[in-house]
Copies of this chain bind each other. A is one copy, B any other.
Amino acid sequence: MSKEITARSQDYSQWYNDLVIKGGLADYSAVRGCMVIKPYGYALWERMQSVLDGKFKETGHQNAYFPLFIPKSFLSKEAAHVEGFAKECAVVTHYRLKNDPNGGGVIVDPEAKLEEELIVRPTSETIIWNTYKTWIQSYRDLPLLINQWANVVRWEMRTRLFLRTAEFLWQEGHTAHATEQEAVAEARLMLDVYADFVENYMALPVVKGTKSPSERFAGAVDTYCIEGLMQDGKALQAGTSHFLGQNFAKAFEVQFLSKENKLDYVWATSWGVSTRMIGALVMAHSDDDGLVMPPRIAPLQVVVVPIYKGDDQKKALDESILPLVKALKDAGISVKYDDSDNARPGWKFAEYELKGVPVRIALGARDLENGVAEVARRDTKVKVSLPLEGLPARIASLLEEIQQNLYNRALTFREEHITRVDDFDTFQKVLDEKGGFVSAHWDGTAETEEKIKELTKATIRCIPLDNPQEEGRCILTGKPSHERVLFARAY
């Protein structure tokens, strides 16, 4: 086979890249740090968008669209925000090119310099809150529940396809509320929406929690997150939801007249997930033969491959396969009948395995005589012969079984990789030898957090929600602590 995949055990990072590129999800581009999302990868993103967008709308949100560019001065209006986002960003300084008078192609026209530079949005709080100022006057205008699907740019120095790219696609929700309580509830609700999506569609169990102060979103009062675990034992943050307090309302002067006729600043949240989730999906379930797509999010759920010699056999197969394909479609299953004659069945099998299609049905002349088909599931690679009679219903339940199996497998792995640790030597050893989450006491200071990161490359992934309170001592400083937090090395 021409599309060799590096084994996980040999080079995990190369394995990931092989899957992404050879699996047809994405490609490098000519622009440093920017990727091309290929049709199969984009189809996966469309599936994610479609499910999430439905959930956003069910919870009362509407979509809108705000400018790509942010005036430089806007970034400075919220003190913490500028620290977090002004550092690495794409800056538009000119608005025209012209022919080089010296004949060297086109050059930037020095006369077309912008009075104020524009930043390509790294996130849209500032431009959106500057707009909300004109949309919000009274409590009647609240809550304002808006989401945006957009591209954003953060000038990352070291990039990896889907996981960290200069440009990526995401959604960003930005809501405005009359009370603190309501805004906190919204931030929590959207965290639940994300967790529900990632667990039930992506089959990836997550820990819900809050970030430590130093890992908070720049400008947030509280950052909630969901953290998943990859097969190499590293954690991956799959989504965040921020309670922003009145920070942005104050920075952009957004006040409203309350029911009691009092002027007050508006309370805010923002929340987002991105194409990074595709990276998480790849690393959570795939194997050395290729991608493994959970059925509920798979762009293609079932492929049917005929095995035949000559037109007569093909015709006979079609007579059974075409009604089967129709029945599967009628049952709401996405299915492709790959009867193209430019590749042999074995090549097709490998290709669909590489692409992670959950179920493959193969049918030859002998199968037809016996009234059966060969059904292969991608997750376990088990093949069974099943009667054609009643096959669509069997496939539908098999898809659900695969979904559940992928989730259970990932959950078992995650459960086995949360290690309670009470001293620093073991902490380091677990990180080096076993990986996964380490549940440990921490004295609550940013200094200790930073020191642990320097020594071990592990960060506090989150303080789990409803975390049991327990007296203990910080693994690094021995100072008293009241609860364990989850550390891990992370993407």
Query: Which positions in A face B, CB cutoff 8 Å?
Result: 27, 29-31, 34-39, 41-43, 45-46, 62-76, 82, 86-98, 105-106, 108, 117-120, 127, 130-131, 134, 140, 146, 150-151, 153, 155, 167, 169, 342
Contact = CB atoms under 8 A, between A and B. Distances in A.
Nearest to A39: B62
Contacts of A117: 108
Contact of A68 (B65, B105, B131, B153): B153
Given A62-B43, A106-B75, A108-B117, A127 B92 contact: no
Given A38-B64, A72-B106, A131 B91 contact: no
B63 A46 contact: yes
A42 B65 contact: yes
Given A38-B64, A69-B167, 12 more contacts: A34-B68, A36-B131, A68-B153, A72-B108, A89-B97, A90-B92, A91-B94, A91-B95, A91-B97, A95-B155, A108-B117, A140-B342
Given A39-B146, A131-B29, A91 B120 contact: no
Nearest to A53: B46
A106 to B, nearest CB: 5
A95 B88 contact: yes
A481 B98 CA distance: 37
Contact of A151 (B39, B94, B151): B151
Contacts of A74: 30
Kindly report how many copies of this chain are found in the complex they form together.
2
Contact of A89 (B66, B72, B95, B119): B95
Nearest to A82: B106
Contacts of A67: 29-31, 34-36, 167
Contacts of A64: 36-39, 41-42
Contacts of A41: 64
B120 A97 contact: no
A75 to B, nearest CB: 6
B92 A96 contact: no
A34 B69 contact: yes
A451 B82 CA distance: 52
24 contacts: A27-B131, A29-B66, A30-B67, A30-B74, A31-B67, A31-B69, A31-B127, A36-B67, A37-B64, A37-B66, A38-B64, A39-B62, A39-B146, A43-B63, A45-B65, A72-B108, A73-B105, A75-B97, A82-B105, A86-B106, A89-B96, A89-B97, A91-B95, A93-B93
Given A92-B120, A93-B108, A68 B167 contact: yes
B63 A30 contact: no
A31 to B, nearest CB: 5
Contacts of A42: 62-65
A92 B92 contact: yes
Contacts of A106: 72, 75-76, 82, 86
Contacts of A30: 67, 71, 74, 127, 130-131
Contacts of A95: 88-91, 155
A84 to B, nearest CB: 12
A400 B400 CA distance: 40
A29 B67 CA distance: 7
Nearest to A165: B67
A370 to B, nearest CB: 35
A69 B169 CA distance: 14
A38 to B, nearest CB: 6
Contacts of A88: 95-96
A321 B183 CA distance: 34
Given A67-B35, A108-B91, A29 B96 contact: no
A346 to B, nearest CB: 18
